Structure 1
Amino acid sequence: MRAFITSLLVLLLSMSLCSTVLAGEVWRITSLDWPPYSDSKVLTQGKSIQKLKKLLEKESIELVVEFYPWARARDIALQTEYIGYFPAWPEEVEEGFIASSPVDWSEIAVMTYAGSGLEWTDMDALFQVKVGLVKNYEYPEIVASLARKWSKNVDATPDEMALLRKLADERIKVAITSPSVMLYLARQLDIDNIRVLKRICRNPLVMAFKDTPENMKRLRLLDRMIQNTPRED
């Protein structure tokens, strides 16, 4: 019993010390413009970044976010002054980084345009036509494996905006991406012919911490705060 109490006190002390050391820090990260989740053009910087900021405020930690194109954001995050990048799908957490618990959630869906005549059967059948994907995204395996199998039928676009314009102009019949992002951008441009054909999966949005001893402390702290926060469904 005495050994148990001693172990418990050591654990509580280490948690307290970790919190004390990290409190008041500034966490500098990179991100991408991916509204509504992350957005350099709005005061909140996007719903997912706002959610991360509110978590860190509980420990008086300031979050500083710099926005870049997605591939560049992940490269820049390797530099000394940054602790990582956010938001990322787990598949986008590259070597040299460690994923946090889910901070937020996104969806991935098959999108088409009104009047395309396309009907859902299954993923394999879908790739018999040209499928638009975002070139720099690391899609979940359910999509990535078929994109490799049917690579001749993949139309890789540089970003979401290019993907939206191709779909809205009926240059492709299908796009696979986040429906929230696609529909958000469509509203901004007064494009009203974009439809969700099939929601494929719900994918977590994680913080990718650069793999260092200091960041392991930050990772544990963030994970603990996430676990202690009621989940929003």
Structure 2
Amino acid sequence: MRLIRSLPLLLLMLGLSPGLLAQGNQLNLTSLNWPPYSAESLPGQGSITSRIRQALANYDLDLAVRFLPWNRAVKQATEDPHYLGYYPEYLSPNSDCLYSKALGTSSLGLAYHSDQALHWETLEDLSPYRIGVVSGYHQTPAFDQQVAAGLLQVEEGVNDQINLLKLLYRRVDLVVVDREVMRHWQNQLPSLRRARDQLQFHPRLLGELSLHVCFNNTQAGRAARDKLDRQL
């Protein structure tokens, strides 16, 4: 019987990647506090985190997540070899990500003041408004293209809850936000809960966007992506 002398080859035959073994049979990812999808304080650390962890459990692999503000989460995952990726991320045409299969869906739309009528059909209709976005977030490709062309006025904030507060106090006219994220903060943040009737989520969506893990474009990242995908 011929012995398998190559450890990487043996690991691949067993369905494990050298990168994952180097992490101690533990997949290290970064994320942000973006409830209900991902948050350190939520049961299971959020719905998307729970789904990733459940998929990895089929390989007896653990998931370890470091929660950081979004821009730091992306930077940490892409520059620190201890991590193989970050989540949740929308698909982006210009990204270097190795995207996992979809882990969920985000209903992305606009929050506005209840006493301010908002009627829009195309993105061009939004040009008169100051629109709050979170620094580093992708929106829809069409929205991002309009921003890059200088056709939409955006003001960046550090997170969704700050943007919703800016909307409440009329520092911006609209806020781009996921519907469930807005609902969470209106339930959990006292100042938004007290003013629940003052802010509305517009029924016309910017888009229904799938949510993914963005794995690093490396051999270990590809192996981890493929392993996760087989259980989704």
Q: TM-score, normalised by structure 2?
A: 0.82
Q: Is 1:194 the counterpart of 2:193 in the alignment?
A: no
1:83 corresponds to = 84
Q: CA RMSD in A?
A: 2.5
- 1:212 corresponds in structure 2 to 218
Give the alignment of 1:1-233 within 5 angstroms.
Answer: 17-18=14-15, 25-77=25-77, 78-91=79-92, 94-95=95-96, 97-150=97-150, 153-189=153-189, 190=193, 191-192=195-196, 193-197=198-202, 198-226=204-232
- In the alignment, structure 2 segments of 5+ residues that lack a partner are 1-10
Indicate the percent of aligned positions where both proteins have the same amino acid: 23
Residue 165 of structure 1, CA deviation: 0.4
Q: Which sits farther off after the overlay, 30-39 or 138-147?
A: 138-147
Closer, same or farther in 2 for the Cα pair 1:93/1:205, shift >3 Å?
Answer: farther
CA-to-aligned-CA distance 1:24-76 (integer Å, 9 cap, x gap): 82001111111111111223111111111111111111000111111111111
Give the structure 1 partner of residue 3 of structure 2.
none
1:125 deviation in Å?
0.7
What's the CA shift string for 1:137-168, capped at 9, x where partnerless? 12221211122234572222222122100112
Given that residues 140 and 206 in structure 2 are in contact (C-alpha distance below 8 angstroms), is that contact kept between their aligned partners in structure 1? no
Offset of 1:91 from its aligned partner? 2.3
CA distance in 2, matches of 1:166, 1:109: 17
Instruction: Give aligned pairs, total.
Output: 213
* TM-score, L = length of structure 1: 0.82
Contact persistence 2:17–2:224 (CA under 8 A)? no
Counterpart CA distance in 1 for 2:214 and 2:152 is 32
Name the SS for the 1:199 alignment partner: coil
Q: Which runs of 5+ in 1 are unaligned?
A: 1-13, 227-233
| Closer/same/farther in 2, CA of residues 125 and 151 from structure 1, 3 Å limit | closer
